Amino acid sequence: MYLVKKIINIINLKTMKQKNLVLTFIFSLAILPLFASGPSVELLSTKAIDSVFPELPYAYNALEPTIDAKTMEIHYSKHHKAYYNNFLAAIKGTPAADLELKSLFAEISKQPAAVRNNGGGYYNHMLFWENMSPTKTDPSAALKAAIEKDFGSVDKFKEEFANAAKKQFGSGWAWLVLGKDGKLFVSSTGNQDNPLMDVVEKKGTPLLCIDVWEHAYYLKYQNLRADYVDNFWNVVNWDTVSKRFENK
């Protein structure tokens, strides 16, 4: 703050209004990376009962041909919305309502199945929408270096991630995760569990995820989950994934 005041004095802003404008501008720059990584990061420190249903960051048809518009529409407006509504209903009037989402996931083993399944379903889909984009992007230099260090190469990482997604038995998710030791790893989880939950074996900060529930791909790909997973790379939003990595 001292430095900011010094700068304001140097550029000689007379009125309070001008000073506030400059302060607002500097503050906006400082929090920009948080918003750029989407509401999912911010919502982790929000009280569970104050969770909001986020807007889809693009149109239903934006990810075609990889993901068709009808699948997106049903997935977002029916499945995701149902998880959200059921999550709020499950925590309403319980101590879980007042926990921050991150703390709730960290002790999800103490919660009933309805909170675990719907809380995970609510949060995981938000991460999923955000880590896809119609615009082609690449991992940042820092993320690329970390992937090369921990997996050997970006291609080897993609292979490991895709295998986890293809081999997850039944419904679930595959993840790229940043562990507490600062190393990246790939994992998969069943149902709506995620790496923030105390019930999963390999815990950490989720950076990238793919939904491999049949509702995520069946209209277009039917039984061919592998084709859906292979095409997923066309729509990965590496900007978001890189920001998640760099903000942690």
Site for Mn ion in 4-63 (CB under 5 A): none
- If one asks whether residue 123 binds Mn ion (CB under 5 A), the answer comes out as no
- Site map (CB under 5 A) of Mn ion, residues 187-216, x = contact: ------------------------x-x--x
The residue count of the chain comes to 248
Q: Is the Cβ of residue 63 or residue 146 nearer to Mn ion in the bound state?
A: 63
The CA dihedral of 153, 201, 175, 183, to the nearest 10 degrees, is: -40
- Which residue, 138 or 227, is less far from Mn ion as judged by CB? 227
Q: Quote the least distance from Cβ 125 to Mn ion, whole Å.
A: 6
Instruction: Kindly give, in sequence order, each residue whose CB lies less than 8 Å from that of residue 82, ignoring residues fewer than 6 positions away.
Output: 121
Per-residue contact string for residues 143-182; x = within reach of Mn ion by CB under 5 A: ----------------------------------------
Q: How far is the CB of 238 from Mn ion (least distance, A)?
A: 21
What are the DSSP calls for 11-30, one per residue?
A: TT--SHHHHHHHHHHHHHHH
CB neighbour list of residue 182: distance below 8 Å, 6 or more residues apart: none
| 8 Å CB contact between 209 and 174 | yes
Residue ranges of alpha helices (H) inside 107-217 are: 113-130, 141-151, 154-167
Nearer to Mn ion (CB atom), residue 82 or residue 89: 82
* Minimum separation from the CB atom of position 54 to Mn ion (A): 14
Query: What's the token pair of residue 77?
Result: 């407006």
Q: Which is nearer to Mn ion, 123 or 151 (CB)?
A: 123
Give the nearest distance from C-beta 29 to Mn ion in angstroms.
35
**CB 40 → Mn ion: shortest distance, Å?**
15
Q: How far is the CB of 213 from Mn ion (least distance, A)?
A: 5
Cα–chain center distance at 185: 16
Q: Which residues of 93-131 are buried (b: 16+ CB within 10 A; e: fewer)?
A: eeebbebebebbbeebeebeeebbbbbbbbbbbbbbbbb
Q: Name the residue number minimizing CB distance to Mn ion.
A: 211
Closer residue to Mn ion, CB minimum distance, 139 or 172: 172
Q: Which residues bind Mn ion (CB under 5 A)?
A: 211, 213, 216
